[in-house]
């Protein structure tokens, strides 16, 4: 009798873990697909400013940045990069057309001092050339 209960317990444990693993895998696939969708859309570019970092209890540091697009101030967040960055610096932001809140801060593309502001509707291509 104890052996039967133990066997049932073990089976339930494995079933629960398998279901949890499947749910996590599905969520990862969905998140990756959404990101791929936004990055595959035509992009426009504007200027963003890195304003803060957040350090959640679990996970990696999150970068907080702001940008203005079509007279709308937008705050974005993204995972920290291995690239060097400095709070207060300006970087180009890549925005999928039609999805202004999905902008991505391009830490490898700092805004040169010669560029003071971006057009209200952004640029169709970056105004400077990067290597």
Question: Could you report the per-residue pLDDT of 61-80, keeping only the tens digit for each?
Answer: 899 999 999 999 999 999 87
**Shared domain check, 101 and 57:** yes
Residues 6+ positions from 36 with CB-CB distance below 8 Å? none
The overall pTM is greater than 0.85: no
**Shared domain check, 101 and 69:** yes
Bigger pLDDT: 46 or 86? 46
- Residue ranges of E strands in 1-131: 43-54, 62-69, 72-79, 90-96, 104-110
Q: Which domain holds residue 9?
A: 1-40
Do 9 and 86 meet the contact criterion of CB atoms below 8 Å apart? no
**Shared domain check, 31 and 60:** no
* Domain count for the chain: 2
Residue 77, in any domain of the structure: yes
Residue 124, in any domain of the structure: no
| Half-sphere exposure (Cβ direction) of 126: Cα atoms closer than 13 Å | 14
């Amino acid at each position: 009798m104890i052996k039967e209960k133990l066997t049932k317990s073990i089976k339930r444990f494995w079933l629960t873990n398998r279901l949890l693993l499947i749910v996590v895998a599905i969520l990862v696939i969905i998140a990756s697909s959404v990101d791929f969708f936004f990055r595959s859309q035509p992009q426009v570019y504007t200027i963003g400013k890195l304003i803060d970092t957040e350090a959640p209890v679990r996970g990696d540091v999150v970068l907080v940045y702001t940008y203005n697009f079509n007279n709308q101030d937008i705050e974005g967040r993204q995972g920290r990069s291995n690239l060097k960055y400095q709070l207060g610096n300006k970087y180009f932001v890549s925005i999928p057309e039609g999805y202004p809140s999905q902008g991505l801060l391009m830490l490898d593309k700092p805004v040169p001092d010669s560029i003071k502001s971006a057009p209200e509707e952004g640029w169709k291509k970056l105004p400077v050339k990067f290597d």
